[in-house]
C-alpha cells in the first residue's frame, strides 16, 4: 500500500499555481492602468476631471471606486507600478480571497480617508500600494507566522522609507491622506483575516 508523501510537493505546486495566476492578475491590472493613462492623455485629462476623487462632494463618493485607476502623468504611474506588482504578488501567494480582501480594504480605506480629509482632486494607486505593504508588514504578527514576520522585516528594510509618505509634514504635494487610509485598510484586512482560535469541547 502506498503511503502519503511528506515532501511538501502539493504545497509547492499550490504556491507555484498561485504565483502564475498572481502574475497574470497583477500584470493585467497594471496593463489596464497604462491603457487608462493613454486614454486620459489622448483626452487631455478629461478622465481625471470626471473620475478623480473630489473630497466631501456627494458625487465624490462614487469617485472612490475610480480614482486609483487614474494617474496625473506617466511618471506617476511608473512610480506606483513596480511596488504594486511586488506587494500585490506577495499577497496573492496567500490566495485569491486574501488578495481581494486586502485590496478592497486598501481601496476603500484610501478613498474614504481622501473623501473625508483630502484636498483637491486626487488620483493614483499609491493608496493601494500602502495598503498592500502595510498588510504584508503586520499579518505575520496576527497570524503568528515566523516566515511572514521574516518577510515583513526584509520588506521593511527595503521599502520602509515609503511609510514617510503617510505623514502630512513629509508627503509634500502627494496625498498623504490616500497613503494613510490605504495603510489603515491593509492593517484592518490583516486583522480580519487572522486565524480564529477554535475551542475544543470535550465530553466527560
Catalytic residue among 71, 81, 94, 179: 179
Residue 176 in grid coordinates: 498623504
Task: Tell me the pLDDT tens digit for each residue of 73-112.
Answer: 999 999 999 999 999 999 999 999 999 999 999 999 999 9
- Decide: 126 and 108 in contact? Cβ < 8 Å: no
Mean predicted lDDT score pLDDT of the chain: 90
The answer to whether residue 178 is domain-embedded is: yes
Task: Domain of residue 98: give its range.
Answer: 11-192
The answer to whether residue 2 is domain-embedded is: no
179 assigned to active site = yes
CA–CA gap between residue 64 and residue 107 (Å, rounded): 8
The total number of structural domains that make up the chain? 1
> Would the CA dihedral through 108, 134, 138, 23 be positive or negative?
positive
Task: Tell me the pLDDT tens digit for each residue of 31-59.
Answer: 999 999 999 999 999 999 999 999 999 98
The answer to whether residue 15 is domain-embedded is: yes
At which residue does the C-alpha cell 486609483 appear? 68
126 assigned to active site = yes
The answer to whether residue 199 is domain-embedded is: no
The answer to whether residue 21 is domain-embedded is: yes
CA–CA gap between residue 122 and residue 107 (Å, rounded): 13
- Decide: 126 and 80 in contact? Cβ < 8 Å: yes
Task: Tell me the pLDDT tens digit for each residue of 95-105.
Answer: 999 999 999 99
The answer to whether residue 28 is domain-embedded is: yes
CATH number of the domain residue 81 falls in:
1.20.1540.10
Going by pLDDT thresholds of 50, 70 and 90, the confidence category of residue 134 is very high
The answer to whether residue 198 is domain-embedded is: no
Q: What are the distances in angstroms from CA 132 to CA 38, 75, 160, 195?
A: 25, 21, 13, 19
The answer to whether residue 4 is domain-embedded is: no
**Residue 4 φ then ψ, to 5°:** -75, 135
Catalytic residue among 81, 106, 126, 175: 126
Amino acid at each position: 500500500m502506498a503511503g502519503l508523501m511528506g515532501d511538501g510537493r502539493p504545497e509547492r505546486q499550490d504556491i507555484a499555481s498561485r504565483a502564475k495566476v498572481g502574475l497574470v492578475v497583477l500584470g493585467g491590472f497594471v496593463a489596464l492602468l497604462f491603457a487608462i493613462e493613454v486614454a486620459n492623455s489622448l483626452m487631455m485629462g478629461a478622465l481625471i476631471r470626471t473620475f478623480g476623487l473630489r473630497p466631501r462632494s456627494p458625487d465624490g463618493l462614487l469617485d472612490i471606486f475610480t480614482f486609483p485607476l487614474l494617474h496625473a502623468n506617466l511618471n506617476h504611474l511608473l512610480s506606483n507600478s513596480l511596488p504594486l506588482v511586488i506587494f500585490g504578488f506577495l499577497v496573492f501567494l496567500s490566495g485569491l480571497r486574501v488578495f481581494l480582501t486586502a485590496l478592497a480594504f486598501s481601496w476603500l480605506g484610501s478613498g474614504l480617508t481622501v473623501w473625508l480629509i483630502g484636498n483637491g482632486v486626487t488620483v493614483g494607486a499609491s493608496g493601494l500600494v500602502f495598503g498592500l505593504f502595510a498588510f504584508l508588514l503586520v499579518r505575520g504578527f496576527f497570524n503568528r507566522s515566523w516566515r511572514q514576520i521574516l518577510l515583513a522585516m526584509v520588506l521593511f528594510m527595503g521599502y520602509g522609507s515609503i511609510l514617510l509618505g503617510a505623514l502630512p509634514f513629509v508627503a509634500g504635494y502627494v496625498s498623504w491622506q490616500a497613503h494613510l487610509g490605504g495603510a489603515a485598510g491593509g492593517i484592518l484586512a490583516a486583522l480580519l483575516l487572522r486565524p480564529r482560535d477554535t475551542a475544543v469541547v470535550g465530553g466527560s
